[in-house]
Amino acid sequence: MATIIKDITLQENIPQNILFEKHIDFIKEYGQKENNFEYAMTDYLRISGMYWGLTALELMNASPPHTIEEISDYIKHCQDPESGGISSCLNHDPHILHTLSAVQILCMYDNLKAIDVEGVVKYVKNLQLPNGSFTGDKWGEVDTRFSFCAVATLSLLNRMDAIDVNKAVDFVASCKNFDGGFGSRPLSESHAGLIYCCLGFLSVTNRLDIVDRDKLAWWLCERQLPSGGLNGRPEKLPDVCYSWWVLSSLTILGKLHCIDANALKKFILACQDTESGGFADRPGDIPDPFHTVFGISALSLLGNDTVQKVNPTYCMPQHVIDRLQLKPQILDN
């Protein structure tokens, strides 16, 4: 009759630390077996998958399983000469999501010259619509995720001049909801992932002024459940990837202290798979690189100094952002 709070219960015997060796092995082995089912069936996100895995390794101070040349070469072959966009995988179509991932990887290895940068700039520019929004590719799907991808990509390439930033900001502002959060399009429901994208966007474009800071910070910290984990929106189960998206959002807003760091740490550590390595969305589930990078990044934001510092706006190692001399807007505590 009454409401039951949707949550998980943490078991006893949670790992107290990050199981580095296991995670590094997990990621390194992930792409090796060509015939691994999970891996092969997700070629539609291959380059993004690479970004997750390689970023996780970098944050854990581990070297990638391939050389920078090999990785760059693969990415190069995924660039579409006609549009300039980069696809998820060989023979797949270009898309802004994978274009960003590609640029993030090459920035990390300081090897942007491997691709046609102007081509990427042209691609992103052509995806902007008159109302300031961005489509994911030439087929027209609009989403604030793509707004984030656009400005993140261009800022990493130092080519923000290529788009109409004000109009882009107007569009993101139009996606603000009654609860201070953001959705994928105007009037779409607030969702932690999309809030991260919009805040990331506003951080890059230096326009965090449009945010209802207190209201949104409250909505975000209400994501924390009794188990310590964070969910993506009300009445949903906790998931380690939201730990990143909510946490980075709070960091950008200068409100990281509003959640219980210890409880969250406990939850994230519990999501480690002690057998195979890697992080799963929640304790006991199957791990994957996606949740691994977000688990590690979240722990970094929470102050764990055994991993590299991560930048909350870009979800990339801070030292890379520093090298690029980028200073995305972050609100003060």
Partner 1 sequence: MHGRLKVRTTEEQKAIKLKEQQKKLDAYKHAMERVLSTRKKDSYDPKSLQISSGILQANPDVYTIWNYRKEVILMKVKESNDDELEGEEKLIDFLEDEIKLTEQCLPSNPKSYGTWHHRYWVLLHHPKPNWNNEFSLCTKYLSKDDRNFHCWDYRRLLVNKIGITLDHELRFSTERLNNNFSNYSSWHYRSTLRKLDSDCVNHELELVKSAVFTDPIDSSAWFYLRWVLSNPTIKKDTKLELLEAFEQLEELEPDCKWVILGKCWLLEQGDLKTRLETYKKLVVLDPLRKGMYMDFIRQAQKEI
Give the residues lining the site for partner 1 (CB under 8 A): 2-3, 5, 35, 37, 40-41, 44-45, 87-88, 91-93, 95, 137, 139-141, 143, 177-179, 183-185, 187-191, 215, 217-219, 221-222, 224, 226, 228, 233-237, 239, 255, 257-260, 263, 273, 280-282, 284-286, 288, 290-291
Which is closer to partner 1, CB of 3 or CB of 17? 3
Tell me how far CA of residue 171 lies from CA of 99, 176, 232, 269, 311, in angstroms. Answer: 21, 9, 22, 38, 25
Which is closer to partner 1, CB of 17 or CB of 35? 35
Which is closer to partner 1, CB of 1 or CB of 325? 1
Residues 6+ apart with CB under 8 A from 231: 6, 192, 223, 225, 237, 238, 239, 242
Which is closer to partner 1, CB of 37 or CB of 325? 37
Residue found under tokens 């580095």: 20
CB of 58 to partner 1, least distance (A): 22
CB of 54 to partner 1, least distance (A): 18
Q: Say how far apart CA 23 and CA 14 lie, in whole Å.
A: 16
CB of 56 to partner 1, least distance (A): 15
Which is closer to partner 1, CB of 301 or CB of 321? 301
CB of 105 to partner 1, least distance (A): 20
Measured between its terminal Cα atoms, the distance across the chain in Å is 41
* Total Cβ atoms within 10 A of residue 102: 31
Which is closer to partner 1, CB of 116 or CB of 141? 141
What DSSP designation does 190 have?
A: P
Strand partners, 150: none
Strands 316-317, 310-311: pairing is: antiparallel
CB of 73 to partner 1, least distance (A): 21
Which is closer to partner 1, CB of 207 or CB of 291? 291
CB of 225 to partner 1, least distance (A): 8
CB of 323 to partner 1, least distance (A): 32
Do 153 and 206 contact (CB within 8 A), yes or no?
Answer: no
Residues 6+ apart with CB under 8 A from 280: 240, 271, 273, 286, 287, 288, 291
Residues 6+ apart with CB under 8 A from 235: 6
